[in-house]
Amino acid sequence: MIGVVPGRHDVDFNVRWKDAHDLLCLVETKNPAAAVPATSAVVIALPVIAADLKHHLQSRHPFPEVFAHELLDGLLGFHPSKCAVMRADRQGADFASSRWTIFLFDFESRDHQSDLTVVIDTDSFLNQQLGGAFFIAEIQLTQEPLEDALGREAVAQTRITGREFRLTIRSGLPDDELSITLYHEILEAATVASSHPPESVLDLNEAGFEAAAHRAHQTWGQASVENLNRMLQFYGFRGE
Amino acid sequence: MVDQDKIQFDLVKLLNGERILRLTDPRTGLSLEKKLKPAEAVVRQKDLLLQVFEAALARAELTDA
């Protein structure tokens, strides 16, 4: 995932997950002239423990070593300028969650914190009407290897029951890929779910759906309920 | 003709980019899947698979009767 940490610092950060399984992330300044404060560190927290961390920070307690030990599997590299690379472990964490919180610590002030703006929050799609007829009942980002009935490895699966879609997508995709995957899955699912799909999708093959998803991502940006609806309306889905 | 809303469709994207379309009738457990041909329109392939599935379902129900 790529997000921006606004915070009280002078620079914005890009946070890029390098390895979703190990929670390895790269933090770099968006402004090439700016530098990551030498005294800063980034801790990636999951919702289960985020509240505890917030409480700890609000109490102005010194940097919580206990959390450092619990969260950080090891400091892989920490550069006073440009970037910092850290790794957090998954201990006690609900790893399946798509919501993340980033805490930006300033070791001097000890109480600076920022919430990561997650570009795609998959929960926001749930139970919202799509194309006037469909809705997403579930999106699961799974770390477990996806396999079909014959044991073939899969990257995504969309189950369509009537008007209801249930998506399972392998976790760890960069935001742009996740966005394109969502556009693709929803457009193809709406097409398959329709008894009489719009003419504009009648001739689309797999490459056609993929190209449509890329165009949608380029035209409307990151997948959201609003943008999925824009795409579905563009292709003529207006409810059956 | 079977009510399409009562059939479960699974679209599976495999690691190698191939796409599987699986139809399942939850009532009987009958399931039929096809690897989609990348160059052919998905709608036509789904319609053909649905016809085959309906025929198989009808046969299964006759056998059970």
Q: For B4-61, how does the pLDDT look when each residue is reduced to its tens digit (9 = 90+)?
A: 788 999 999 998 889 999 999 988 888 999 999 999 999 999 999 999 999 888 887 7
Asked whether the beta carbons of A120 and A163 are under 8 A apart, the reply is no
User: Mean pLDDT: which of A7-16, A160-169, B53-62 is highest?
Assistant: A160-169
Q: pTM of the full predicted structure? A: 0.63
Number of DSSP helices (H) and strands (E) in chain B, helices first: 1, 3
Q: Do A96 and A136 fall into the same domain?
A: no
Greater pLDDT, A179 or A188: A188
Q: Do A138 and A198 fall into the same domain?
A: yes
Is A188 within 8 Å of B39 when comparing Cβ atoms? no
Output the six-digit token pair for A165: 């879609």
Any domain includes A204: yes
Output the six-digit token pair for A193: 């779910």
Asked whether the beta carbons of A181 and A169 are under 8 A apart, the reply is yes
Asked whether the beta carbons of A53 and A45 are under 8 A apart, the reply is yes
Residue A169 has pLDDT above 70, yes or no: yes
Q: Do A137 and A175 fall into the same domain?
A: yes
Asked whether the beta carbons of A70 and A50 are under 8 A apart, the reply is no
* Cβ contacts of B39 on chain A, cutoff 8 Å: 205, 207
Asked if A106 has any chain B CB less than 8 Å from its own CB, the reply is no
Distance CA A143, CA A225 (A): 24
Q: Do A93 and A22 fall into the same domain?
A: yes
Q: Do A97 and A132 fall into the same domain?
A: no
* Cβ contacts of B12 on chain A, cutoff 8 Å: 148, 154, 156-157
Lowest mean pLDDT among A48-62, A182-196, A226-240: A48-62
Any domain includes A112: no
pLDDT recorded at residue A239: 66
Greater pLDDT, A178 or A35: A178
pLDDT recorded at residue A106: 33
Q: Among all residues of chain B, which has the CA nearest to that of A202?
A: B43
Any domain includes A114: no
Q: Do A139 and A76 fall into the same domain?
A: no
Asked if A193 has any chain B CB less than 8 Å from its own CB, the reply is yes
* Domain count for chain A: 2
Asked whether the beta carbons of A93 and A67 are under 8 A apart, the reply is no
Asked whether the beta carbons of A139 and A153 are under 8 A apart, the reply is no
Greater pLDDT, A21 or B32: B32
Is A185 within 8 Å of B19 when comparing Cβ atoms? no
Any domain includes A113: no
Q: What angle do CA A229, A164, A138 make, to 5 degrees?
A: 85
Q: Do A94 and A128 fall into the same domain?
A: no
Any domain includes A28: yes
Asked whether the beta carbons of A157 and A178 are under 8 A apart, the reply is no
pLDDT recorded at residue A85: 29
Residue A237 has pLDDT above 90, yes or no: yes
Any domain includes A16: yes
Picking from A80, A106, A132, the residue at the C-terminal end of a domain is: A106
Any domain includes A117: no
Distance CA A53, CA A58 (A): 9
Q: Which long-range contacts (CB under 8 A, 24 or more apart) does B42-49 make?
A: B42/A188, B42/A191, B42/A192, B42/A204, B42/A205, B42/A206, B42/A209, B43/A191, B43/A192, B43/A197, B43/A201, B43/A202, B43/A203, B43/A204, B44/A202, B45/B21, B46/A192, B46/B9, B46/B21, B49/B21, B49/B23
Range of the domain at A12: 2-106
Output the six-digit token pair for A192: 């398959």
Parallel, antiparallel or unpaired: strands A146-147 and B31-35? unpaired
Output the six-digit token pair for A98: 């798509």
Lowest mean pLDDT among A61-75, A122-136, A139-153, A177-191: A61-75
Any domain includes A179: yes
Q: Do A165 and A64 fall into the same domain?
A: no
Of the candidates A96, A101, A106, A164, the one whose C-alpha atom is nearest the C-alpha of residue A133 is A164
Parallel, antiparallel or unpaired: strands A164-170 and A134-142? parallel
Q: Do A207 and A145 fall into the same domain?
A: yes
- The question of ipTM being above 0.90 is answered as yes
Is A189 within 8 Å of B11 when comparing Cβ atoms? yes
Q: Do A227 and A137 fall into the same domain?
A: yes
Structural domains of chain B, ranges and CATH numbers in brackets: 4-64 (3.30.160)
Asked whether the beta carbons of A223 and A213 are under 8 A apart, the reply is no
